[in-house]
Amino acid sequence: MTSKSLLESLNPKGHLEIIKRHSNGFEETVLDDHNVITVGMGITLAHLFSASSSSVPADDYKIAYFQIGTGSSTMVSSVTKLHTPISAANYGETDLSISSIDIATESVVKPVAFINPSYINKTSSTKVTYSLVLEEEACSSIAIKEIGLYSKNPAQQGSGLAYLCCYRSFAAITKTDAFALIFKWTLEF
């Protein structure tokens, strides 16, 4: 009998639901499908399980950021970055906390949105859901085609080196101020 690898034992999977919430309260689901768990999730978990010091903040291993883009990559587990991430200015008027971080496999710093911990919910002993909201005023006139979730700094690299853990590309959704865009991303282990 062969033993299972950690990845086979955990069998991580994800599901993304994208909802347009109009100003009158009407909600329309525009995507309800799986996502791709990427190699960055494996790297993040490997660093977590191999940490030899208890002085490393657990915060560094969590999925802390998301990024949206206007391009699309092939949805394979080896994808390590968004094809065409938007600029910080493209996020526009938003309550999101936008910062620039080093992304693994990139040679430049890229803008990402911080995921507020109050929008992260453990929905069962094996599932966590991230609710990411682009308000009506955010990302005006941007044709969004991709989104990714990033871990914070699992490799303990200086000021931080983020890894793409989950990715999803989809048909363009042109964001306007007529609706908020809600991404409900559930990961299961």
Per-residue pLDDT of the chain (189 residues; tens, 9 = 90+): 455 555 556 677 899 999 999 999 999 999 999 999 998 888 888 878 776 666 667 777 889 999 999 998 888 888 899 999 999 999 998 999 999 988 887 767 899 999 999 999 998 988 999 999 999 999 999 999 999 999 988 777 766 788 899 999 999 999 999 999 999 999 998
**pLDDT (0 to 100) of residue 44:** 83
| d(C-alpha 143, C-alpha 128), whole Å | 28
**pLDDT (0 to 100) of residue 63:** 92
**pLDDT (0 to 100) of residue 151:** 92
**pLDDT (0 to 100) of residue 103:** 87
**pLDDT (0 to 100) of residue 4:** 56
Radius of gyration of the chain (CA): 17
The residue written with tokens 């903040």 in the block is 57
**pLDDT (0 to 100) of residue 128:** 95
**pLDDT (0 to 100) of residue 121:** 95
Q: Are 185 and 138 in contact (CB under 8 A)?
A: no
Residue 151 makes CB contacts below 8 A (sequence gap 6+) with: 40, 41, 44, 61, 62, 63, 64, 162, 163, 165
Q: In residues, how long is the chain? A: 189
**pLDDT (0 to 100) of residue 53:** 61
